[in-house]
């Protein structure tokens, strides 16, 4: 039994606590150790991806207890993929947090970052349903801290909404788990899956209730309409790098839906097509509402938040098929939308920082570094909208291809194509207001003093001390680092396009693994020599 599987949980947990205890007042040490923690997690994720690529499911039995009784961690291709994606995103966005100076706007940025990573990694690795709940709480409590990082009335209010919504979601999660435990008598995912598969159809009313409750919980995390109401205000008011990291948080919900509804409640089990029937319409509405939100909002941060909602809708359309092709396309879009969604939040933050914290979509005199930032915005917009040549186009093409023989094909295709046009209009408008028309405005002579004053009175004062200026260019430690990390995320999108072939083969392997649950029964429940 290899101990690598526990490392993605242990490394951030240890470093996070060390930073709280020993480096509370030393930002430099926090930065160094925070980055070391994220880089170590990335290294471990690479090792685990190598292990999982072979196609077998690795199982780690905590305390060496045999499977249905003890908690297990399991590593398959999907977990490895999610771990790697999280680690890459965490490292790059953390660099942005350092470069833009966001990490010194409040306390414990880097240790909360590590706890967030711990929760995310644990949620992706665990093979126990109740343990999944615990890791959800770990990542949520870290995200509450990160979300209100920097403070300010708007952010705190949005934080209260965010916590309340998620607390209600957690109680729903417990209700769902309780229901499933009553029916199946187990919480181990593989064991539960095997018992559900053997259950007579006439006894499954309660089981189906549990499955739908669980779907609701994960739909809250994934922000599927009508459970998306927490997302726009939360993401729009979160600090830029935190919102960028949160791009992976909606994907945790998507991951959990994929995990539970391929392993425990697959299409041929007693719950039949319950997941598809509920998710597909919700996903279509999510995509439509998300893109309308992108077009309708007058705030840049909210525009990025609605782009996240739309991307979840798009990827759930494909995942809702729960077959190998749909999952492959969905997972490709998942990787793409995580990287690009994060890049969008970072670009928006770059813009807002150079306009004295003004994130509203309105004419202001041209900003500093306007050439570089407008290029970044242009590339991000291309990727988000899904125009060739970047990965958004390929992802959309794969989703269209996967839904070709769907009975809802006409509805799906027209929704995807029309909403893409809506997004194109929205991003063109935003870009021309921000970068083109700005040149027509003369920098007003009196405006310079205003810009010094305006930030302090802006909707979100991000400062902690009264004498510390709100985020602006002068405040960022190393602007080049901020540009570099934004560019790296976009380079990720380019890499997704260039290496689409090998990646798709890996994703096909992932989808094949997911659609044959017997592999999981076998590895988790049968092969237990080392455990007695």
Partner 1 sequence: MEFLVASAVGAITAAGIYLILRLRTFAVVLGMTMLTYAINAFLFATGRLVVNKPPILLGHSNINPADYTDPLPQALVLTAIVISFGMTAVVVMMALGAFIEGGDDHINMPDDDRIMPTLKTLDDQKPEDETA
Residues at the site binding partner 1, with contacts judged by CB under 8 A:
130, 134, 137, 141, 144, 148, 151-154, 156-161, 163-164, 167-168, 170-171, 174-175, 177-179, 181-182, 187, 233, 236-237, 297-299, 302, 358, 360-362, 450, 453-454, 457-459
Contacts of 283 (CB under 8 A, 6+ apart): 224, 312, 313, 314, 316, 317, 320
Contacts of 323 (CB under 8 A, 6+ apart): 267, 511, 515
The nearer residue to partner 1, 144 or 413, going by C-beta atoms, is 144
Backbone angles phi, psi at 296, to 5 degrees: -85, -25
Are the beta carbons of 173 and 221 closer than 8 angstroms? no
Minimum gap (Å) between residue 459 Cβ and partner 1:
5
Minimum gap (Å) between residue 293 Cβ and partner 1:
11
- Long-range CB contact pairs, 132-135, < 8 A, 24+: 132/256, 133/170, 133/173, 133/174, 133/177
Minimum gap (Å) between residue 61 Cβ and partner 1:
17
Cα–Cα dist 38/358, whole Å: 31
DSSP string, 384-406: HHT-TTSHHHHHHHHHHHHTTT-
Minimum gap (Å) between residue 458 Cβ and partner 1:
7
The nearer residue to partner 1, 142 or 225, going by C-beta atoms, is 142
The nearer residue to partner 1, 179 or 337, going by C-beta atoms, is 179
Minimum gap (Å) between residue 255 Cβ and partner 1:
21
The nearer residue to partner 1, 40 or 175, going by C-beta atoms, is 175
The nearer residue to partner 1, 103 or 358, going by C-beta atoms, is 358
Nearest-5° angle of CA 406, CA 407, CA 411?
Answer: 90
Nearest-5° angle of CA 512, CA 517, CA 518?
Answer: 110
Minimum gap (Å) between residue 506 Cβ and partner 1:
36
The nearer residue to partner 1, 179 or 286, going by C-beta atoms, is 179
The nearer residue to partner 1, 298 or 505, going by C-beta atoms, is 298
The nearer residue to partner 1, 277 or 450, going by C-beta atoms, is 450
Cα–Cα dist 449/235, whole Å: 30
Minimum gap (Å) between residue 151 Cβ and partner 1:
7
Nearest-5° angle of CA 299, CA 234, CA 149?
Answer: 105
Are the beta carbons of 94 and 80 closer than 8 angstroms? no
Cα–Cα dist 231/233, whole Å: 6
Nearest Cα residue to 39 out of 81, 101, 95, 112 = 95
Minimum gap (Å) between residue 502 Cβ and partner 1:
41
């Amino acid at each position: 039994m290899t101990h690598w599987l526990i490392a993605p949980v242990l490394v951030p947990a240890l470093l996070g606590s060390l930073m709280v205890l020993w480096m509370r007042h030393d930002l430099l040490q926090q930065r160094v150790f925070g980055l070391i923690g994220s880089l170590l997690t990335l290294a471990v994720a690479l090792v685990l991806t190598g292990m999982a690529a072979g196609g077998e499911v690795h199982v780690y039995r905590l305390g060496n207890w045999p499977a249905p009784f003890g908690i297990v961690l399991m590593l398959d291709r999907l977990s490895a993929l999610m771990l790697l994606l999280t680690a890459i995103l965490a490292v790059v966005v953390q660099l942005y947090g350092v470069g833009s100076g966001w990490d010194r706007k409040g306390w414990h940025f880097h240790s909360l970052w590590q706890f967030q990573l711990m929760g995310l990694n644990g949620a992706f690795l665990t093979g126990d349903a109740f343990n999944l709940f615990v890791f959800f709480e770990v990542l949520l409590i870290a995200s509450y801290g990160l979300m209100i990082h920097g403070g300010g009335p708007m952010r705190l209010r949005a934080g209260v909404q965010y916590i309340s919504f998620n607390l209600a979601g957690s109680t729903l999660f417990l209700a769902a788990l309780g229901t499933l435990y009553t029916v199946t008598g187990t919480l181990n995912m593989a064991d539960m899956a095997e018992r559900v598969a053997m259950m007579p159809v006439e006894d499954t009313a309660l089981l189906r209730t549990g499955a739908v409750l669980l779907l609701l919980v994960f739909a809250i995390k994934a922000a599927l309409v009508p459970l998306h109401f927490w997302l726009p205000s939360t993401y729009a008011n979160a600090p830029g790098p935190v919102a960028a990291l949160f791009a992976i948080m909606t994907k945790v919900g998507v991951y959990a839906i994929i995990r539970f509804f391929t392993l425990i409640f697959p299409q041929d089990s007693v719950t039949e097509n319950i997941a598809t029937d509920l998710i597909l319409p919700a996903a279509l509405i999510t995509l439509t509402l998300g893109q309308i939100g992108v077009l309708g909002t007058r705030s840049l941060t909210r525009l990025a938040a609605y782009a996240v909602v739309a991307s979840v809708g798009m990827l759930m359309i494909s995942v809702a098929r729960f077959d190998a092709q749909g999952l492959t396309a969905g997972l490709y879009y998942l990787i793409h939308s995580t990287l690009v969604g994060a890049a969008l939040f970072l670009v928006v933050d770059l813009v807002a920082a150079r306009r004295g914290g003004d994130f509203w979509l309105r004419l202001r005199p041209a900003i500093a570094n306007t050439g570089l930032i407008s290029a970044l915005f242009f590339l991000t917009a291309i990727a988000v909208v899904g125009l060739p040549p970047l990965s958004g186009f390929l992802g959309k093409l794969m989703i269209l291809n996967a839904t070709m023989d769907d009975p809802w094909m006409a509805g799906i295709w027209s929704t995807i194509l029309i909403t893409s046009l809506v997004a194109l209009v929205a991003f063109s408008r935003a870009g021309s207001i921000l970068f083109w028309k700005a040149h027509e405005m003369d920098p007003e002579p009196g405006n310079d003093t205003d810009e010094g004053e305006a930030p302090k009175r802006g909707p979100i004062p991000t400062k902690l001390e009264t004498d510390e200026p709100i985020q602006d260019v002068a405040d960022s430690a190393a602007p080049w680092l901020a540009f570099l990390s934004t560019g790296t995320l976009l380079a990720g999108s380019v890499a997704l396009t260039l290496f689409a072939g090998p990646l798709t083969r890996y994703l096909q392997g992932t989808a094949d693994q997911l659609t044959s649950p017997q592999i999981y029964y076998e590895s988790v429940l049968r092969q237990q020599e080392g455990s007695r």
